[in-house]
Structure 1
Amino acid sequence: MANSISTTISEQVIKFKPGGTPASFNISVTNDSDRFAAFQLEMIAAGADVIPGLRWYNFSPEVSAKKPPGDRTRFTATITDSPVPGFAGIMNLTVRIFSLELGEETREVIRLVVEKSKGLTPVKLTLPVAEFPAYPSDLLEIPVSLYNPSQLTANVVLNFLGVDITWLVEGNERRLQIPPGGKTETTFLCQLPIPSLVPSQPYPFTIEADLIDGPLSSATGTIIVLPKGFVDFNCIPKELQMPPSASAWWIPKWKCHSATYILKFDNASNLRPDVTVLVQPEAGQRQSTWELIPEKAKISPGEITELQLTINKRRHWWGGSKKLRFEVKAIESETDIDIRNDTQFLKLNVLPVLPIWMQLLIGAGLLTLAWACSWLNPNNPLFGHTAPVTSVQFNGMGDNAVSGGNDQKIIKWDSAGFLNPLINQFQGDLGNLGKAVRVVRYRPVDNNLLAAGLENGESWLFNLAGDGNKPIDSFLFRKDDRVLALEFTKDSRYLFSGHGSGYVLQWDVQSDLEKNVSVNNSPFKQKKFDFAVSALALAGKANKNLMVGGRFNQLWMWNFEPDKVRSLPYQEGSKDDYIQSLTVAAYKPNLMATADNQGYITLWNLDKCLSKDVKCTIVDRWGNGHGSKPVRSVVLNRNGCYLASGGDDGRVMLWPLNIDGKRHPQFANGQEVGRSEQRINSVDLKRQGKNIFVLSGSDDTQVRIDVTPQSDTGCK
């Protein structure tokens, strides 16, 4: 059967001198089969023994890529050493060419002429093991193998270099004599020091074989010192007093607000840990701060390092001492070193700034300030709003009032408390509603329900006679469409809400109450306007016309039965111009007042234009009522004899009107009944007995009631 492998060798006789230049020749192998195949080569020397670790030749490439039929691969053979150590002469070399895919082989024989070498050839030095992991204090045996490829006896001096000579128990030198072609082994003993003297890291070393009067050879290895040992953690002291002086019980120490602990780390390991601490105060105690100097510390083996933990605590002025407790835990992130006593518990005894005797003395004086800090003081910020007041309203009798503000609260007030300092005007709030309150309105019938319009587009209904802190109904059509105006119908069946998007929504309140519905997302009716709606008011005796005012000075009338809208002429405005407020007199439902942020107040007679498509009559109009600054709110009393207004000038004005709805000539410039340092956002008006009561809320967070006598204008 024909062989599928054919070969060609470039040289039949090869000369080689040990210690000299390597000898090489080429072998070409051709795939004569009918399929792809890869080829490998092997060289065998006659009379040569296999010596582990001794490689006297090499091929390039070691294995060919798979070749198609008829393709050729060229191998280069290089002889680097004598196949038989110490031999000089001629020997046969057999080159074996084989393929695993074909399952065939072929052999070629060449002659190798080994010449005598001149001088000594470097010994071959190897380490059977190159890496030596060990712990501190361990004793290591490092074996070394040597082979003399020369034809002469080799006198070798071994030197162990790269580590501290004190580690080598029997010294760092060995003297050996190796016969031609001989092999020998020796051992170096290495005793590692204690952990603090040998950091955990690799320690590379070199062993050199120096031939006397000959060349040098070497081998390298690494001693890997493994982690061992621990870090001891301690706090000194574990309990401190602030201030530290014993006299602090009697003599004030005003500026002492810190205490310092020493955190001690003793490194009894061979690592360089990066240590720090976590400080955790005891649950439930008042907040304090702390500072760690330095924040981290890297500790060398055998080193003691200290960190300073300073706890800062603003000392209380009153009372007795307070005990603070802290858990301090030592941590290290880079290694797995054992930290002993890693958790320490610290105590801090904090004394008051004022000694007990001084507290008693000051306490007696503070009693005189009790009135100013109680509900008896109408200006006490603890009772009332903490952000601008956006809406106020009297109830029907005027004995109670409500207010809403940007502090997300609705507060109930006793009107008498504003006039009598012995009566608490604060009747509580409806809790934090979670969103700023834009408008509040009593239900006209019984005043037992309260509607609130919120910044997020919701309108909530509260039962003031029951659990007023929880809404009994919620109206939401579009989320985040803020409610800017609310208006009940006179029979309290429906509630209208005006929104920043331009929607005016009619909600069937009575139906929800009868059906015990708590969330309503479907308005009874709706109307979309092309402007933000900021004011609503029901006008006319039929209670079917809703006046709508808002951005761009738009003023519209919506007859929701039979659902028709039309515009009322008003001075044109830009995007920054708003009709801020609308009001209609309850007993004169055809008398309406409007206010805008250009400073104008306008009185209207709607008698003819409610039922007919005719122009509404402007009865009176003026723009200097608040120094030409925006007017934020206007309100007519029930019989239409008085108009109150509030604006950005911080004034609350009262405008007595005559029977025709115009300003009385005697009071053409109005009466200033109240003043705030900041703008007035909302006003309401009640006429009781011989006095006029004006309720107001402003940006200064205050709710006020101002009282002024009635004026004789002939309007009753």
Structure 2
Amino acid sequence: MAKSLISASISTQVLRLKPGGNTASFEVSVTNESEQFATFQVELIAAGTDGNLGSRWYNLSPGISAKKPPGDSTKFYVTITDTPVPGFVGKMNITVRIFSLELREEERQLLRLAVEQGIGSIPMQLELPVREFKTHPTDLLEIQVRVYNPSQSPANVVLHLLGVERSWLIEGTDRKLLVPAATKTETIFLCQLPSAGLAPSGTYPFTIECQQVNGPSSSIQGAIMVAPGGFMDFLCTPALHQIPIGNRWQLKNWKSNAATYKIQFDNASNLTQQVSVEVHAEEPRAFKLEVIPESSQIAPGETTELLLVANKKRRRWLGILPQRFLFEVKAVVSDDRLDVRNDTQILKLRVLAVVPIWMQLVGGFLLLFLLWWLSWLNPKNPFWGHKEAVTSVQFNGVGEQVVSGSNDQTTIRWLSAGFFNPLINQQMGVIGRNEKGVRTVRYKPVDNDLMAAGLENGEIKLWDVLGNGKDPISSFSYQKDDRVLALEFSKDSRYLFSGHGSGLVLVWDVERTNINTPNNQPLRGKKFDFAVNSLALVGKAGKNLMIGGRYNQLVAWNLEKDKWGRVSYPRKGGQEDYIVSLDSAEYNPNLLVTADNQGYITLWNMQQCLAEKGLCEVLDEWSDGHGGKPVRSVALSANGCYLASGGDDGKVMLWYLTAEGKRDPQFSKGKKIDQSLKESEKINSVDIKQTGKYILVASGSDDHEVKLDRVERPRNAQCGNQE
């Protein structure tokens, strides 16, 4: 059998104890039976003891012995001051445990303790099943308390909960209980935590104190640990700001360069926070950004405000649309355990020009008006266009240019493209200035390098339209003051026919080799008994000259045979009746159109009468195109499919014809394509040109305007869509 390393004995085996009276003492002798130095300790163990009491029911001296050599002994003195089990009366066993940490061995002795009825009351024993309550704001806690009465008599006790805000306790801070003898009773304190702002995060220690009448009190401690809760609300206003602020009509606001945003933190949490912001500008070099103050401390439930001042370094002086900038503002808090709502916000800033929009618009309008007034777009501009009524217009061969003559004694060349593009000046330049008003102008058919102008004083001038000379290359007349009312070039451009107010029709040789011949005289001529208003070459060979004029006279002059004859006009005319305009189609030379001041437009087939095989055939005739008012000018397209007319009603009309030379039944009412500035201002001259899918119509009127209109060729027209 192994030898015990510890030898122990107690001075008595039985003790008597009267709680509240005499104590009970005994000795414990311990011998070191080992072969090494060792320290010894003594511990008393009683079944059913209160764990809260620990070793407080007895005293021990010494608490631990000095190191003893082998064979040496030591004594411990033990005094039992209270019953190990509160309220117990009777006999109980006490185990005396002797042990050594060095020897790792122990010895046990048994002591019999007789406990008599004590003197006085016994304190209540309190127990908290949960000592630490981890919770959040607005939570409802149940603080459970157990009260044990160790005495042999029932006890009336009052429990007080101390250390917790009274407003948190729903049913108050006190509980009255009747605790039967040797019985455990439970009760609950209900604790309702307020919102985060009223329940700062932290540890809230509390004490539950138990008081009994004529008896000792007892207490127990616990703690409520409020975790961080709630949130921080972040708001920036306004979301959209503007520089300048306020009434822009006030001059003091014009040069304002700053905008101020309010940054608001609302602490709906239970933590005290240090708050600030981070600001990122879309264009940082354009602004000086300042936050006032840079940071702020905010307690739970409080609100604080910072100011973000954005200073624009340089504002534009002019600009209709505002400059737009973005700022990213991010909330920064010292404790990031809590949520920051809307922690990043985008702020917008509109920066207006220094000069207010209304002033820019007024100034811009005035500038545009001035530019417009000085430009070719202004029909009344004294520096552009004609100053008096336009009497004659004509396209060149390809329709890219137009020439016009006017009572203001000028002839002007125009670029067709400029009439459809406001960025292009349509006026190419004044070809020449004359001593009298210009009644008619005509391009030389071959090369379009010359232009003939017939003047009010009977003079005819030839101008080089491709050169820049200020003087005509030739000028000639037959009778002074015999107005030139009509001009027509021969197809080979060698001859020029002129019609005069006296009734003369003259033929001039205008080949360049003969132009500058001194005292240039007409090759031949005819004198008629009516004023000649219009001329047109008809027939395939261009050997017949149609002459129209006063008294509704229409004459065909066979140039080859030098014979002429009258053509029967549908209406006999008096001295106030005129055939004012004639034209033929270049590729359909037997088609002739006439217009008179009675408002009639007449289409003719000249084939039979030119061949002297019958009367000239009237193909179509109408008078409702210009409301019965005089028709001043008509013009046929080269293929004879389109007809333009202008009259005293101020309208320019386009008529679609059939291949036979009649009005197309689908478009019998014609198409109005232009109107003079005033209906009372008549259209004096029109010309027409077909270019690709478009029909171009030029017109000149009493309103001093030269106009050019473009109409798309109709797909369903009977004539003109063969190309």
Q: Which of these two proteins has the greater Rg computed from alpha carbons?
A: 2
TM-score normalised to the size of structure 1? 0.48
TM-score by length of 2: 0.48
